[in-house]
Structure 1
Amino acid sequence: MFKKMIAFTLIFLLMFSIIGCNKEEKKVVIASKPMTEQYVIAEMLKLLIEENTDIKVELKLGIGGGTSNIQPAMEKGEIDIYPEYTGTGWMFVLKQELINNSEELYKSVKKAYEEQYGIKWTGLYGFNDTFGLAIKKELADKLNIKTYSDLALKSDNLTLGAEYDFYEREDGYPGLSEIYGFKFDNKKELDIGLKYQAISTDQVDVINVFSTDGRLKEKGLVVLQDDKNFFPSYFAATLVREETLKEYPQLEEILEMMTGLISNEEMIEMNYLVEIEKKDPKQVAREFLEKKGLK
């Protein structure tokens, strides 16, 4: 009898161990680049997955080198999911020439990733974190400047501030001037960290920026419309390994909850809350999802 009890106990422990292992296997790894908006988005993805499935999420935030190190890890299966940008995927990873049409770019990069890497691009979040030109809102309203073309017409009375290489790169000021015909009265070379200070103290009227930078709100700036699509589009979306989707097919519907969810203005606001007001990215992510009715 005693031997039977021991045997039963061992079988029970073995079954419990197997069940425990199976539970532990339900896990995905989400990575992010070392960027504020990526921290927030990764936290959103974690919340959506863990609150709608029994899959646990391991976060690997702020990976140094960004795409350079995350893409190889995705290919090896070390990372399952991460946010990426269309322009980065097409030109940096795939080494292809710029496609100016944002819809065509998205379709092309999506198709190429599936064919070459077995990685799926989900729907775009909605915001475009590209390069841009920004101006104080009150000056833009006063001069009725909304687009780069509008700016070009008034540029001979304005001062532009940008870092040195922006004036040298063909995909910077030289190319912009050729397309739009800018004739700024003055052009100042500024370190990246000094541009916002310079425009807030009226040392310059226009600066080059990233279009979802949280400091845009802090300084009361607006990003003008690139009406001739000079800069590449960098619309963001979730990338997920197709092998991961085969293992957890329920993930696809959950990841698509992010499609069309975040505007440029909303991303600027969230970056501002983290960078300027020092809020926790997880808190910002949770509050945003609650506002959108996804929590």
Structure 2
Amino acid sequence: MVVALAAGCGLQSSSGAVLPAEPAKIEPQEGLEDAEITVVAKNFTEQLILGNMVSIALSTAGADVTNLSNTPGSFGARAALVEGDADVSPEYTGTGWINYLGNDEPIPGEEEQWRAVKEADAANGLVWLPPAPANNTYAFAIREEKAEELGVTAFSQLASLPPEELTFCVEPEFANRNDGFEPMLAAYDLTPGQLAEVLTLDTGVVYTATADGRCNFGEVFTTDGRIPGLNLRVLEDDRQFFPLYNLSMVVRDEVLEQYPEIEDVLGQITPLLTNEVLQDLNARVDSEGQDPAIVARDWLVEEGLVAMP
């Protein structure tokens, strides 16, 4: 999943600088005046935005922040935290539970999955702060016009559709995963033999092929900015087949113990981060070509969390 998620958004460069901002709702914290905090984030669009967002917020609150956004790969970011080379990172509960902690089966329920990874990762000296509503996982989408025609909002409705409407676009990895396409079909009472067509395409092509009607149902990532940009509707995974990948800020426990203000600062951001918000922010980078750091600061300003310098 972690590789697929990285492929789901465009790669962007990042200077590692922390853009300046003035206090607003996020105010200077006396306890952070002498804090040296290193933020690490991965090298795909959403993570670049989030890493810069966290860096700007903590800097505005008074910390001396080193911004290590654009760190290659999930395990590179994870190693930085575990080895003490970084202190804070935006992460995903499913990535922590499955990829880092080595569990095969996800935990149903957002709260339950977060608590499970939080409790297990405490042994590694890491604290998972309360998660955001945003859940960056697999899903299937359909163009809005076709969704209205077929009257579908959830994946369980697909088994009742005429067979000729069951056309799918998927990427190669998902098509061949043990927890991928065919197991998902089985969870929803479908078999490959019932489908009219399955096209295996590169990730980016899946979105445009779905929007253009080459297939009715395309594999997507739920926070991808192309979903609103191409007027796609994400179907509800009403049998909860896909693992939950809620966003959570992870902090080294000794750093959080020394600087508890970190939780207060980040706690002003996390509840605001929904799938729709991240879709919009990702689209500003991937579709409009904006810089991830500027997108991060603009959003903080729009939400009244910081002000322009």
1:167: how far off? 2.8
Equivalences for 1:92-241 in 2 at 5 Å? 92-96=99-103, 97-114=105-122, 116-154=123-161, 156-158=163-165, 159-182=167-190, 183-241=194-252
Once residues 135 and 181 of structure 1 are traced to their aligned partners in structure 2, the CA distance between those partners, rounded to angstroms, is: 19
Rounded Cα–Cα distance in structure 2 between residues aligned with 1:225 and 1:233? 13
The secondary structure found in structure 1 opposite 2:239 is coil
Listed as ranges, the matches of 1:36-55 within 5 Å are: 36-52=45-61, 54-55=62-63
Amino acid at match of 1:87: G
- 216-225 or 193-202: which moved more? 193-202
Mapped to 1, the partners of 2:106 and 2:112 lie a distance apart of 11
Aligned residue for 1:283, secondary structure, equals helix
For residues 172 and 79 of structure 2, the distance between their equivalents in structure 1, rounded to whole angstroms, comes to 32
> 2-side partners of 1:98 and 1:121: how far apart?
17
| Residue 33 of structure 1 pairs with residue 46 of structure 2 | no
Distance 2:223 2:177 in 1: 22
Aligned-pair Cα RMSD in Å: 1.8
After TM superposition, the structure 1 stretch with the greater mean CA deviation from structure 2, 215-224 or 105-114, is: 215-224
Label 1:155 to 1:105 Cα distance change in 2 as closer, same or farther (>3 A).
farther
Show structure 2 runs of 5+ residues with no match: 1-31
Question: Which structure features the higher share of helix residues?
Answer: 1
Amino acid in structure 2 at the alignment position of 1:61: S
**What code does the residue aligned with 1:292 have?**
E
How much has 1:24 moved relative to structure 2? 9.9
Report what 1:13 is aligned to: none
**Structure 2 CA distance for partners of 1:74 and 1:165, relative to 1, 3 Å:** closer
TM-score, normalising length from structure 2? 0.83
Structure index of larger Rg: 1
Q: CA deviation at 1:189?
A: 1.8
How far, CA to CA, are the matches of 1:195 and 1:257 in structure 2?
35
Q: Distance in 2 between matches of 1:203 and 1:89?
A: 35
Q: Distance in 1 between matches of 2:67 and 2:202?
A: 33
1:252-272 alpha-carbon deviations (Å, 9 max, x no partner): 211211231111111101100
Contact 2:39 2:87 in 1 (8 A): yes
Q: Tell me the residue number matched to 2:16.
A: none
Deviation at residue 156 of structure 1 after TM alignment: 1.6
1:287 shift after superposition: 2.2
Partner of 2:263: 252
Shift of 1:58: 0.8
2: distance between equivalents of 1:155 and 1:51?
56
| Separation in structure 1 between the aligned mates of residue 267 and residue 187 of structure 2, nearest angstrom | 37
Shift of 1:198: 1.7
8 Å CA contact 1:148, 1:180 repeated in 2 = yes
Tell me the SS of whatever aligns to 2:271.
coil
Aligned to 1:278: 289
Query: For residues 95 and 259 of structure 1, what CA distance do their matches in structure 2 show?
Result: 26
Please tell me whether the aligned partners of residues 40 and 68 of structure 2 are also in contact (alpha carbons under 8 angstroms): yes
- Counterpart contact for 2:207–2:220, Cα < 8 Å: no
Cα displacement (A) at 1:163: 2.2
TM-score, normalized by length of structure 1?
A: 0.86
Separation in structure 2 between the aligned mates of residue 165 and residue 259 of structure 1, nearest angstrom:
30
Distance of aligned partners of 1:51 and 1:164 in 2 relative to their CA distance in 1, 3 Å threshold: closer
- Tell me the distance in 2 between the aligned counterparts of 1:289 and 1:151: 40
Deviation per residue, 1:98-153 (Å, 9 max, x gap): 21222211111011111x11111111121000001011011112221111012332
Structure 2 counterpart of 1:78? 85
63, 74, 80: which one pairs with 2:71? 63
Instruction: Tell me the SS of whatever aligns to 2:251.
Output: strand
Paired residue for 2:29?
A: none
Q: How many Å separate the matches in 2 of 1:281 and 1:102? A: 27
